[in-house]
């Protein structure tokens, strides 16, 4: 996966150099880059950083802030990509992201179990469902499976059941796992829509145990 990310970074860096090759001096002595290829570069760069690091990561924020077609601004955005490339070369991207994800998911599972034990099975089911959805998205991101789809001209996250099918097609996990995920999502939907009598506390406990096992087995794909 890191090789795929590295290749994408190399492409973006090369594209940036193509943008800088178009710079021309304006009548005010400033160097302006050609807008068509600049827009292609900026769109591709933002899409990449958003997908693999998220909108709240400093890399995305720094790249997004470099607006305008003047050469110094473009060169600054190139510095962001070079920092990402350096992080990948040193093996930081995968290790740091994996550790943080594991810790966060572990906390959510513990909180869900605590809620269930205290008699709040419905809140626990919703929390487990949210943890499952985010795990599916991370599996997709790390295995180059698209997590978004265009709806009426805007990009939106795919529904969890669609992502579930896509991950099976990509051979990230088996059709048996797919059936289990579908059942878990159904339980989560019942909880989210107030159908509290459709499942029991025992089923929520089984959901928690099975989800923990599923996440442990698919961790190697992250």
Structural domains of the chain ordered from first start: 2-90 (no CATH), 93-221 (1.20.120)
Distance CA 11, CA 21 (A): 15
Interior CA angle at 128 toward 94 and 222, to 5°?
15
pLDDT in tens, 13-53: 999 999 999 999 987 788 999 999 999 999 999 988 887 77
First to last CA, the chain: 9
Residue with tokens 């698209």: 146
Contact status, residue 51 vs residue 43, Cβ threshold 8 Å? no
Q: Among the ranges 25-29, 98-102, 164-168, which has the highest mean pLDDT value?
A: 164-168
The closest of 123, 16, 124, 127 to 66, measured between CA atoms, is 16
Quick one: pLDDT band at residue 105, thresholds 50, 70, 90?
Answer: low
- State the pLDDT at residue 76: 87
Q: What is the largest CA-CA distance in the chain?
A: 74
């Amino acid at each position: 996966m890191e090789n795929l990310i590295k290749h994408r970074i190399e492409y973006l860096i090369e594209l940036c150099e193509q943008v800088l090759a178009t710079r021309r001096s304006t009548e005010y002595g400033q160097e302006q880059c050609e807008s068509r290829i600049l827009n292609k570069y900026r769109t591709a760069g933002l899409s990449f950083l958003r997908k693999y690091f998220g909108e709240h990561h400093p890399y995305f924020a720094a790249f997004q802030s470099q607006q305008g077609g003047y050469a110094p601004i473009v060169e600054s955005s190139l510095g962001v990509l070079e920092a990402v490339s350096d992080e990948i070369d040193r093996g930081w991207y995968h290790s740091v992201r994996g550790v943080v994800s594991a810790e966060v998911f572990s906390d959510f599972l513990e909180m869900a179990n605590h809620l269930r034990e205290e008699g709040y099975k419905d809140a626990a089911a919703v929390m487990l469902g949210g943890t499952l959805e985010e795990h599916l998205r991370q599996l997709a991101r790390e295995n180059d499976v698209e997590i978004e789809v265009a709806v009426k001209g805007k990009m939106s996250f795919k529904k969890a059941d669609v992502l579930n099918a896509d991950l099976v097609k990509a051979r990230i996990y088996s059709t048996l796992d797919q059936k289990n995920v579908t059942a878990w999502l159904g339980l989560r939907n019942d909880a989210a829509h107030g159908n509290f009598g459709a499942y029991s506390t025992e089923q929520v406990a089984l959901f928690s145990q099975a989800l923990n096992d599923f996440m442990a087995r698919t961790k190697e794909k992250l």
